[in-house]
């Protein structure tokens, strides 16, 4: 059986992994938001993107285990307060089902972050290829607005969830760590939804710019440029496919929660 270190180091070496500054600025708020709840999928240092390392993976694993243990303890404690843990009641069944569901979500998110780190990196590098081409076409004027709105969403999410945790500590009397663990499922779902919506918005913008470029070059005779445009469209579609593979699970779970 492979050791834990071997498992997290099975990723192949990534070539041409430099990330442009403007792409980093667009993605940094979203990456920072995920880092806060221990679901980082890659890291960027010195303008180079790489898979999450052993230390990051270990910290995420410890955090996941802590959240699972706290939820199991809270479920058993709440059950013992009202009736016997072994008694079969609607209330107990609901508690146990919720505990199993949330603990499964924590575990799935941790596993997905580890095994999909290369796909996430491929998404960033593929998107960057699209972004470079469209930016060089002279039609790109979206970066600042997108970055600002990313920070608005991130700051709003952080303030909202921090306020809720503080309320639980001050008004209800929860321990800060327990309150954070108790709120973690909601933070996880909300942040996954925000991340997914902002990435979709990012790709939607690239499609709109691509359409504008096509309209401005309707009568061009440059076959090479037309071929490049077609290739860029294929790259955008690939971004959507990678995004679906990486985030469909998280978005589906969040949607089920809202339903």
pLDDT in tens, 187-220: 888 888 899 999 999 999 999 999 988 888 777 7
Structural domain boundaries enclosing 80 = 4-258
pLDDT, position 120 = 93
86 band by pLDDT with thresholds 50, 70 and 90: low
Counting other chains too, the contacts that 246-250 makes at CB distance below 8 Å and 24 or more residues apart are 246/41, 246/112, 246/116, 246/119, 246/120, 246/123, 247/192, 247/195, 247/196, 247/199, 249/108, 249/112, 250/109, 250/112, 250/192, 250/196
pLDDT tens digits for 101-110?
Answer: 888 888 888 8
Instruction: Please give the average per-residue pLDDT across 127-137, as a whole number.
Output: 90
Question: Phi and psi of 44, rounded to 5°?
Answer: -120, 120
Which residues contact residue 253 at a Cβ distance below 8 angstroms, ignoring those fewer than 6 apart? 105, 108, 189, 192
216-243: per-residue pLDDT in tens? 877 777 788 888 999 999 999 999 999 9
What is the tens place of the pLDDT at every residue in 4-23? 344 344 444 555 789 999 99
The total domain count for the chain is: 1
CA angle 23, 199, 182 (to 5 degrees): 115
pLDDT band at residue 1 using 50, 70 and 90 as cut-offs: very low
What is the pLDDT, as a whole number, of residue 250? Answer: 61
pLDDT at 252: 60
């Amino acid at each position: 059986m492979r050791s834990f270190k071997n498992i997290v180091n099975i990723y192949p070496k990534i070539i041409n992994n430099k990330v442009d500054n403007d792409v980093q600025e667009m993605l940094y708020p979203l990456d920072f938001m995920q880092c806060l709840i221990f679901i980082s999928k890659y890291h960027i240092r010195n303008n180079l993107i790489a898979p999450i390392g052993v230390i990051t993976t270990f910290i995420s694993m410890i955090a996941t285990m802590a959240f699972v243990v706290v939820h199991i303890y809270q479920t058993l404690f709440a059950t013992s307060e009202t009736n016997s843990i072994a008694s079969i009641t609607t209330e107990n069944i609901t508690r146990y089902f919720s505990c199993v569901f949330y603990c499964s979500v924590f575990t799935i998110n941790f596993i997905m972050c580890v095994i999909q780190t290369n796909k996430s990196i491929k998404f960033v590098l593929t998107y960057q290829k699209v972004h470079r081409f469209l930016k060089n076409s002279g039609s790109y004027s979206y970066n600042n607005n997108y970055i600002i709105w990313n920070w608005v969403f991130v700051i709003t999410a952080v303030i909202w969830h921090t306020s809720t945790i503080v309320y639980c500590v001050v008004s209800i009397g929860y321990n800060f760590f327990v309150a954070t663990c108790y709120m973690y499922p909601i933070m996880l779902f909300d942040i996954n939804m925000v991340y997914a919506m902002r990435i979709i918005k990012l790709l939607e913008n690239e499609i709109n710019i691509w359409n504008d470029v096509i309209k401005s070059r309707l009568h061009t005779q440059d076959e090479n440029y037309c071929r490049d445009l077609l290739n860029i469209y294929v790259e955008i579609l690939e971004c959507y496919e990678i995004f679906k593979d990486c985030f469909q699970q998280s978005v589906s779970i969040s949607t089920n929660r809202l339903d």
